[in-house]
Each structure stands twice: as C-alpha cells, then as structure tokens.
C-alpha cells in the first residue's frame, strides 16, 4: 500500500487495532476493527452509521486516545455553515491592519501585507485538521444533522484531503487525518459523500459483547449481575420504544445497581431505576406496562 495515502496511525494488523482499542477500553467487534484498520491504511474517511448510543463517537475518541493523537471534533447541527466548518477571515484583524497601514494622509502604504493571507485566516475544525503537521483524528459528528449544502462543502476534503480557499488556492493535507463521520441515520446521506468513505454500520451490541463491555466498564460488578443487566436491557430494547437504551445508559444502570445493591430481577427495582435507562415518559409507561408494574400518575 502506498505510504502517501496513509493517515499516520500505525497498525500492522487488524488484530493490532482490536488489541489497542481493547486496551483503551473500547471493545471492537471484527467488522469494526477491520474497517478501522483499512481506513488508517488506505487513508480513506470512515462513515459510521447506526442508532444513537452504539459507540460511534466513542470509536473516534478511542482511536485518538490509543494512538496518542489529537482529536479534532466538528459537532454538526442544523444551520452549520462554511464559516464554522472550514474557515473564515478575521475581519477585525483585517480592519486593524488596514487602519495601521495608512499614513498620516490616509494613504495605504505599499508594504501592507495582503489582508487575504494566512495571517488573517481563522481555521475551523476541518481546516485545522487538514493543516496539522502531525497526525490527528478528525471527528465529524452527526453529519446527518446538517443540510445537503453543508454536506457538499466536505466533498473536496473527503476525496482530496484539501480545502480550496479562493484567495489562497488549495491547502492540501501533509498527513491525512484519520477521519470519522458519524450518522444516526435520521436522513439519507448523499451518494457523493458515501462513495468517498468506507462504511461501517454499528448496531446495538450482541448480548455477549454487551456483557463484556459491562464487565470492563463497571467497577465492582460480578458476571452474574452483568448477565442480568444485559438480559433486561436487551429485552427492553425489543419493546416498542421512542428511544432504546444506549450502551452508555446500560453502563449507568449497571453502576446504579452496584451502588445501591439492587436486584435487576425485581420488576419494581427496574421500574424505580428506569431514569438511568430511558429518557422519555412514553417509554417509561411502556416498560412499566410490560413489566406489570403500576404506572402511577
């Protein structure tokens, strides 16, 4: 494989990726480790799609942590535009520069530095990652929240790892950032974006994997309690809910049961601690109904 296309994150094998992530507290399945390895080796962006709370953002954080690289995060939201994604000009500094360059008669001195130079540029997360001389992990989080026009701004970055500024020309990455885009699949992303990326669907974990995550992440929990927690959470996820419990919420609930020495096999205990698992009133009502617990007011 050509070294010029790589991201600077060094992993000799797929197993090395899985081992490094595990050491950092992220338990990756085979598909995740394989796709992350290929993204690093081929220098391709990685689009990770799936339900909220399945570890998409955490994968990028873990990759940065285990490789000792800086994490550059762009949190996407509706209304995000070029000045928050790529760059903008420091208009105040430009104005001050123009004022300082005028002589007593108000004429601009010939030695005035071009106000559309890098000295007056304010890089936003994507350009920051592109210009970094050291390897970085670029996280473009919840790309499905932005409009199609903003999504299109990223196509040049995702294909050529460069940003073209009309006044300066293209600024190309010296070292390609390890780029992770996450999506909760709330809307269909463009084919143009998808074909520039490797793709990973990250679903809720299997019972075995979730059990391993609980054992690794919750201090003081024993295997029996972890099994009961996972069995209950998996059953709740199968219900008709507005928002199914995430992995993080499973961990919160497990930690609650350990802290309070509660039994998850008791339906009343489950009902009393639902606030750690579910964040919508309608979901609380549905789970209580399924458990046969009095819904109350």
Considering only CA atoms, which of 54, 36, 23 is closest in space to residue 178? 36
Whether 23 is in a domain gets the answer yes
Residues in the chain where the model's pLDDT stays below 50: 1-4, 297
Phi-psi region of 57 (alpha: psi -120 to 50; beta: other; left: phi over 0): alpha
In which element (H, E) is residue 228 found? helix 223-237
Which parts of the chain fold into alpha helices (H)? 14-23, 30-42, 56-67, 82-85, 91-100, 125-131, 148-153, 155-160, 191-194, 207-217, 223-237, 247-260, 267-272, 281-291
- Report the alpha-carbon distance of residue 291 to residue 229 in Å, rounded: 15
CATH classification at residue 186 = 3.40.50.300
Sequence length of the chain is 297
Phi-psi region of 220 (alpha: psi -120 to 50; beta: other; left: phi over 0): left
Considering only CA atoms, which of 178, 175, 171 is closest in space to residue 197? 178
Considering only CA atoms, which of 227, 234, 235 is closest in space to residue 291? 235
Task: Tell whether 25 and 129 lie within a shared domain.
Answer: yes
Whether 295 is in a domain gets the answer no
> Strand pairing partners for 201?
49
Q: Which residue has the tokens 């994507």?
A: 126
pTM of the model: 0.86
Task: Tell whether 140 and 58 lie within a shared domain.
Answer: yes
Whether 248 is in a domain gets the answer yes
- SS3 of residue 182 by DSSP: strand
- pLDDT tens profile 62-95: 999 999 999 999 999 999 999 999 999 888 887 8
Residue numbers of the domain that contains 139: 3-83+124-201
Count of Cβ atoms closer than 10 Å to residue 270 Cβ = 23
pLDDT value of position 115: 78
Q: Which residues are within 8 A (CB) of 125 and not within 5 positions of it... i.e. 6 or more apart?
A: 72, 73, 74, 85, 138
Domain boundary among 186, 201, 216: 201
- pLDDT tens profile 185-233: 999 999 999 999 999 999 999 999 999 999 999 999 999 999 999 999 9
Number of domains in the chain: 3
Count of Cβ atoms closer than 10 Å to residue 155 Cβ = 14
pLDDT value of position 297: 44
Task: Tell whether 132 and 245 lie within a shared domain.
Answer: no
Count of Cβ atoms closer than 10 Å to residue 262 Cβ = 17
Domain boundary among 151, 169, 201: 201
Q: For the chain, what is the total number of helices (H) and then of strands (E)?
A: 14, 9
Task: Tell whether 134 and 12 lie within a shared domain.
Answer: yes
Task: Tell whether 113 and 220 lie within a shared domain.
Answer: no
pLDDT value of position 198: 98
Contact 11, 41 (CB under 8 A): yes
Domain boundary among 201, 234, 258: 201
């Amino acid at each position: 494989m050509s070294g010029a296309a790589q991201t600077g994150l060094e992993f000799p094998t797929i197993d090395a990726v899985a081992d490094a992530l595990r050491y950092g507290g992220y338990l990756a399945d085979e598909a995740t480790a394989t796709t992350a390895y290929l993204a690093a080796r081929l220098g391709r962006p990685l689009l990770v799609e799936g339900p909220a709370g399945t570890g998409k953002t955490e994968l990028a954080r873990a990759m940065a942590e285990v490789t000792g690289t800086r994490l550059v995060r762009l949190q996407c939201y509706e209304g995000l535009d070029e000045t928050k994604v790529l760059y903008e000009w420091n208009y105040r500094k430009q104005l001050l520069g123009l004022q300082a360059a005028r002589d007593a008669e108000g004429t601009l001195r010939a030695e005035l530095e071009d106000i559309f130079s890098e000295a007056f540029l304010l890089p936003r997360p994507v350009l920051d990652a592109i210009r970094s001389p050291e390897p970085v992990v670029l996280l473009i989080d919840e790309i499905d929240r932005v409009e199609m026009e903003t999504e299109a701004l990223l196509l040049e970055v995702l294909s050529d790892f460069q940003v073209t500024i009309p006044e300066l020309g293209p600024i190309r990455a010296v070292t390609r950032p390890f780029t992770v885009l996450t999506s909760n699949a709330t809307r269909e992303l463009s084919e143009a974006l998808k074909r520039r990326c490797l793709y990973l669907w990250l679903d809720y974990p299997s019972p075995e994997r979730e059990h391993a995550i609980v054992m690794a992440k919750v201090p003081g929990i024993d295997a029996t309690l972890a099994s009961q927690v996972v069995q209950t959470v998996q059953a709740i996820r199968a219900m008709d809910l507005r928002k199914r419990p995430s992995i993080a919420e499973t961990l919160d609930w497990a930690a609650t049961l350990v802290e309070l020495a509660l039994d998850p096999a008791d339906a009343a205990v489950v009902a009393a601690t639902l606030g750690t698992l579910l964040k919508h009133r309608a979901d609380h009502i549905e789970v209580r109904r399924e458990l046969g617990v009095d819904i109350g007011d």
